Structure 1
């Protein structure tokens, strides 16, 4: 991983040069350390736009790996926590992938508007519905914001199950992202069919129905993962 000093220097470069250098560095790390297996890429073509990809979240390498793999079929905007732009190392990652910054755990109306507008204009979106990286590798409870985006843009949702990135770029035990180091790892990405949500029952409470839909969504991701990654969705 880049040192904080090197990251600060790179962030001072002109934008166009920064992006080219950052992509070269990122792809170099991925090519060197990751042995990637992808299944189900063809499923993307079977889903009409607007489309939202949803994936479990394990590592700061997740977005970089997915961006590289999906390029063949899609060039999605990633929904990223605004704090990523505040760290010199993770800020470089936000330059590599198209992204829309969002304030976590809040009704960020500006970000919501941007996401819905992007979807309606034909752009794909990728969201990590857990909202944060899993510290154990196992799935944690998803957040319902994804359902709002899908409903407002009338978007289809495609699940992705990713394993191995927790070993590719493990989370630092002390929370220092600058201390995270790339390791050789097998990474598997499984892309599923679009999610079929249950119909709302007559007189069913809105919140209960959303809970059912969210459970369907998260279990669609879990089914694409080895059992020990499924966490609360086993």
Structure 2
């Protein structure tokens, strides 16, 4: 996004100034590089809080693109801690209201914060896969979203995104600061609000959880081109 040296220098400037510059830079980059196609906005008009927005995950730019749709929805993004620890990616993340979790761990503290945000009547966005897909298509989701949804009973809205893996590809070397931008067509679709499926008679917790997570992920998959659906085809 910007060079690591400049990103580190910016951290010492007043927050309001940095936020202003960050917004200008990101808006300019998206306008320059992205041909953005959004459909389904009518599905979020008049939604009552709290809402859990769920989306597939292809790139570190996903949140910046989603912000074009959700800016008026007062959403807190659930972000991996690495994004905030890197000066370059933190420059973009600071534009979004975030709560940090530690992916692939039993992060009870991070999970509690997410649940409290929803119970406080506020919206969140979470990527159920827990990480960006390295295959360019959907990968297996983590079960944390089910616990969050069960405890808060929040409305769930599926979102589907594609093309961001071409706009800001994942660095093959694993260096997020080295990731850069390319011209790309990006699609974003909004599904209809939904709830967790009702538990069937005699269905044990394991079977229910498997069915519930597949239901949520297929709601996302139906919004994106077939080649992006991965294991949820």
TM-score band, normalised by the shorter chain? over 0.9
Question: Greater CA deviation, 8-17 or 146-155?
Answer: 8-17
1:5-56 CA distances to partner (integer Å, 9 max, x unpaired)?
Answer: 1211122222222222111111111111111111111101254321100000
Aligned residues: 233
Bigger shift: 157-166 or 195-204?
195-204
For 2:162 and 2:93, how far apart are their aligned partners in 1? 22
Paired with 1:179 and 1:114, the residues of 2 have a C-alpha distance of: 31
Superposition RMSD on alpha carbons, in Å? 1.4
1:33: which partner in 2?
A: 33
Does residue 170 (structure 1) correspond to residue 164 (structure 2)? The answer is no
> Which 4+ residue blocks in structure 1 deviate beyond 3 angstroms?
none
Matches of residues 1-234 of structure 1 in structure 2 within 5 Å? Answer: 1-45=1-45, 47-72=47-72, 74-234=73-233
* Structure 2: gaps of 5 or more residues: none
How far, CA to CA, are the matches of 1:82 and 1:225 in structure 2? 27
Q: Equivalents in 1 of 2:10, 2:194: separation in Å?
A: 40
> CA offsets, 1:127-185, max 9 Å, x none?
01111111121100011111111111110110000011111111111112222111111
- TM-score, normalization by structure 1: 0.95
- Any stretches of 5+ residues in structure 1 without a counterpart? none
Paired with 1:168 and 1:8, the residues of 2 have a C-alpha distance of 24
The Cα of 1:222 is off from its aligned counterpart by 0.4
TM-score, normalised relative to structure 2: 0.95
Q: CA shift at 1:120, angstroms? A: 2.0
